[in-house]
Structures are given as structure tokens and as C-alpha cells.
């Protein structure tokens, strides 16, 4: 659907304004607004999610309580890949609030990565050498229950015009930076016009070589991979790397495949990061299948993250010992390049920490 009008899409805490080009020839069958419409119609009430999937209403009170501290958000494109009537569906479990989130777990904090003290320049987290996170906005296409940013004060990170200039100035001033990582929230929630502007600004900074985007949108709403987005990523002098976030092979259906294919064919380097999640992907077969499916779709496995110890996510934790075994087992029946690096992020460390798998002889 192509419209020529200005359209304002309201979501819960942001307003996205997108003006279409009005030129049907310039666009393909993927309307620039389709993804925004899908995003604005995402399920934000636990009851609607349970009803849509035909789940037991007994789950409702826990879901309602848990969603008060971190709201539920799930687009229908993602729900469509869940199994009807299955409360243990591995996609559902990533997004359905449950009463376990209310349990105070020792060692789990509100800011496990120590990001808030580093956040002196608004919109920027600069912890590692040569690269930094630039966060254009606060919204995600989906609210993942295990997310380490569930308590992050995003409202403080919405940039106005001066703050944009000041963030860009920070990057301009530091010639040791080679790579800017757009992160968030999900940076692809920004509209194509804003992203195009941002990518052009970054490309004008001579010491930058790479643009990396950390995003779950190609997985959650694959319609987000518009022609304009692909053009912005490939018409710049910067090398573009898109790091998607997929945790389970069921997440990659034909619509996601098609979106990944568009990026790949245009020359974008594709990587994946996953989080190891109890009851969702904590077995070697599932992890191996995920790697196989990703590679089939031109995506190289990058990181498998141990859960960040954020309050409300303790029920997703897989122990380090168990994780090392899982990756060791996976290495037995996976090509070496399909085994992701098991990583933990520790506050105050100059990089992520890679954890070696444990192997046992046959
Ligand atoms: C993960 C992360 C990066 C990127 O790390 P890589 O190991 O290069 O993928 C950069 N900055 C911050 C703050 C991070 O958390
Ligand atoms: S930042 Fe990533 S993991 Fe966290 S809620 Fe957003 S999409 Fe999910």
C-alpha cells in the first residue's frame, strides 16, 4: 500500500512521523509505512496476547502484574510464528510477562552492566576502545522479558537537535573511533529519513570506517527492511554490518529469510547475537539448528551471551558451567564457524569476556 499523505503513527511512548515519497516507481511492493503500521498495532495488553493464542486465562494475573514494571509489546508478525495453545512456545516465553519476574533474586540488579555511570554524553555509551554505542531512541519493536535494558532510563536518552549535534561532535573529536554501533532501544525504529541523515553525518567523519547496527527488527518485523533502508546502508562509504538478534530457529520464517536475503544481496555483512535462555534455547540441538538456519540465510553466528543479571530475569538464567558444556556439545556436531562465541559482559571490563567451552572425550 502506498499513500501520498503524511501519516502519524502513535505508539505508546513515541510518535513516529513519516512522509511518504509519493512516488510509486521509487518503491517496490514493500510500502515504507507497512512496518510502522505493524509496529503501531503491536499487542500491548497481556489479555490480548493470551486470547490471540488461545492460552489459559490463569496466566493473566501474573502477566498483568509483571507488565506493570516493564510493559508487554509484541507485534503480530512475531505472534504469527508461535504455536497456538502452547504456553511453552519458545517465542512466547521471550515476550510473555510472568509472575517469576517479581521475584527479587540476589545478585540481580537494575544496571548490571554499569552503563548508567558511563552515560555522561547523552545518547552515547563509550566503554570499549575504537567503537561506541550511539542510541538514537528508546523504543524496541518487541519487549524481551530478559532484556538487560528493562530498567534503563531511556527517557533521558531521547536526543533533541542540540544533543544530536553534541553526540556527533563527540564522535568527530575522537579520532581513535573506527566504528559506530547504532543500538538502543532498537535503532531501526527510527524512520528511513532520519537514518539516512544520520548515516550521511557519520560518513562525513573521516576516521570512521564502519557502521554497525544492533537490531532485532529484521527478525520481529521483517517488513522493516525497506528499499530505502537497504539503499542507505549500501550507498555510504562506510562498511555496513547488521547484527540481528535471534534466539531460536522458529524465529526465522520465510518472511525473515526474504528480508535477510535483501540485505545480503545488497552487500551488507550479517551477524547474529543470541542470549542463552533457560527453557528456550538451552540445549545443544536447538543452538546448532539456529546456527544452521542462520547460515542458510547468510548470517554468521557471532555472540551467544550469558544472561545479564538484571532484576526480573533470574528465571532465564543458565549457569556458566552449563553454558560451557552446551557450547562444547554443540562443537561436536557443528562446523567450527557455526559455533558462536560464548560471552559475558562484566561491568568495568574493557571488552566482553569470552568463555571457553568445556569438551569431553567420546
Ligand atoms: C557489546 C558492546 C560493544 C561491542 O562489542 P564488540 O565486542 O565489538 O561486539 C561496544 N560497546 C558496548 C558498550 C558494548 O556493550
Ligand atoms: S534491546 Fe533487544 S533484547 Fe532488549 S527489549 Fe529491545 S529488542 Fe529485546
Atom of ligand 2 nearest to the CA of 183: 1
Q: Which of 71, 140, 181, 313 to mutate to test the pocket of ligand 2 (most atoms within 8 A of CB)?
A: 140
Q: What is the pTM of this model?
A: 0.90
Give the residue numbers of the binding site for [4Fe-4S] cluster. Answer: 140, 144, 147
The lowest-confidence range among 3-12, 145-154, 169-178, 295-304 is 3-12
344 with 351: CB under 8 angstroms? no
| Cα separation, 316 vs 340, whole angstroms | 19
| Nearest CA, atom 1, ligand 1 | 352
128 CA to centre of ligand 1 in angstroms = 7
Q: Which three cell numbers stand for residue 53?
A: 493464542
Residue with cell 568527530: 172
How much is the pLDDT for 25? 40
| Nearest CA, atom 10, ligand 1 | 132
Q: Which of 186, 187, 304 to mutate to test the pocket of ligand 2 (most atoms within 8 A of CB)?
A: 186
| Nearest CA, atom 2, ligand 2 | 216
| Cα separation, 278 vs 8, whole angstroms | 39
Atom of ligand 1 nearest to the CA of 243: 9
Q: Which residues pair with 213 in a beta bridge?
A: 182, 242
For 84, 89, 293, the CA distances from 59, given in Å and listed in that order, are: 15, 14, 32
Looking at all shown ligands, the one closest to residue 140's CA atom is 2
Residue 321 half-sphere exposure toward CB, CA atoms < 13 A: 0
Query: Which value, to the nearest 10 degrees, does the dihedral of the CA atoms of residues 166, 172, 176, 179 take?
Result: 80
Pocket of ligand 1 from Cβ distances under 6 Å: 125, 127-128, 131, 133, 181, 345, 351-352
How much is the pLDDT for 169? 97
In the chain, the percentage of residues whose pLDDT exceeds 90 is 78
Residue range 106-354, CATH number: 3.20.20.70
pLDDT tens-digit map of 299-345? 999 999 999 999 999 999 999 999 999 999 999 989 999 999 999 99
State if residue 144 touches ligand 2 by the CB under 6 angstroms criterion.
yes
The lowest-confidence range among 37-46, 79-88, 149-158, 266-275 is 149-158
292 CA to centre of ligand 1 in angstroms = 25
Q: CB-based burial of residue 50 (10 Å sphere; 0-12 exposed, 13-18 middle, 19+ buried)? A: buried
State if residue 251 touches ligand 2 by the CB under 6 angstroms criterion.
no
111 with 151: CB under 8 angstroms? yes
Residue 15 region, left (φ>0) first, then alpha (ψ -120 to 50), else beta?
Answer: beta
Amino acid at each position: 500500500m502506498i499513500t501520498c499523505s503524511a501519516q502519524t503513527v502513535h505508539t505508546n511512548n513515541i510518535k513516529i512521523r513519516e512522509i511518504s515519497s509519493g512516488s510509486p516507481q521509487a518503491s517496490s511492493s514493500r510500502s515504507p509505512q507497512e512496518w510502522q503500521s505493524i509496529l503501531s498495532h503491536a499487542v500491548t495488553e497481556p489479555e490480548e496476547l493470551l486470547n490471540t493464542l488461545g492460552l489459559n486465562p490463569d496466566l493473566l494475573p501474573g502477566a498483568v502484574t509483571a507488565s506493570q514494571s516493564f510493559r508487554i509489546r509484541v507485534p503480530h508478525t512475531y505472534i504469527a510464528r508461535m504455536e497456538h495453545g502452547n504456553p511453552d512456545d519458545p517465542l512466547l516465553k521471550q515476550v510473555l510477562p510472568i509472575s517469576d519476574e517479581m521475584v527479587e533474586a540476589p545478585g540481580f540488579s537494575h544496571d548490571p552492566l554499569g552503563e548508567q555511570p558511563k552515560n555522561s554524553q547523552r545518547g552515547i555509551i563509550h566503554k570499549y576502545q575504537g567503537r561506541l554505542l550511539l542510541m538514537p531512541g528508546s523504543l524496541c519493536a518487541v519487549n524481551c522479558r530478559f532484556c538487560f535494558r528493562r530498567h534503563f532510563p531511556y527517557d533521558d536518552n531521547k536526543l533533541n537537535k542540540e544533543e544530536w549535534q553534541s553526540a556527533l561532535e563527540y564522535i568527530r573529536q575522537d579520532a581513535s573511533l573506527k566504528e559506530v554501533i547504532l543500538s538502543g532501544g532498537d535503532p531501526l525504529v527510527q524512520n528511513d529519513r532520519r537514518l539516512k541523515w544520520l548515516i550521511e553525518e557519520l560518513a562525513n567523519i573521516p576516521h570512521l570506517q564502519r557502521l554497525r547496527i544492533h537490531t532485532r527488527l529484521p527478525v520481529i518485523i521483517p517488513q522493516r527492511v525497506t528499499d530505502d533502508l537497504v539503499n542507505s546502508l549500501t550507498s555510504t562509504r562506510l562498511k555496513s554490518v547488521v547484527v540481528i538478534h535471534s534466539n531460536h530457529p522458529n524465529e526465522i520464517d520465510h518472511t525473515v529469510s526474504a528480508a535477510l536475503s535483501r540485505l545480503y544481496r545488497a552487500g551488507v555483512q550479517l551477524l547474529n547475537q543470541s542470549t542463552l535462555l533457560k527453557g528456550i534455547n538451552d540445549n545443544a540441538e536447538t543452538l546448532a539448528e539456529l546456527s544452521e538456519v542462520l547460515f542458510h540465510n547468510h548470517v554468521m553466528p557471532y555472540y551467544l551471551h550469558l544472561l545479564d543479571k538484571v532484576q526480573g530475569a533470574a528465571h532465564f538464567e543458565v549457569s556458566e558451567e552449563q553454558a560451557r558444556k552446551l557450547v562444547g556439545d554443540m562443537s561436536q556436531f557443528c562446523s567450527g564457524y557455526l559455533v558462536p562465541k560464548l560471552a559475558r559482559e562484566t561491568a568495568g571490563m574493557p571488552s566482553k569476556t569470552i568463555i571457553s567451552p568445556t569438551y569431553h572425550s567420546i
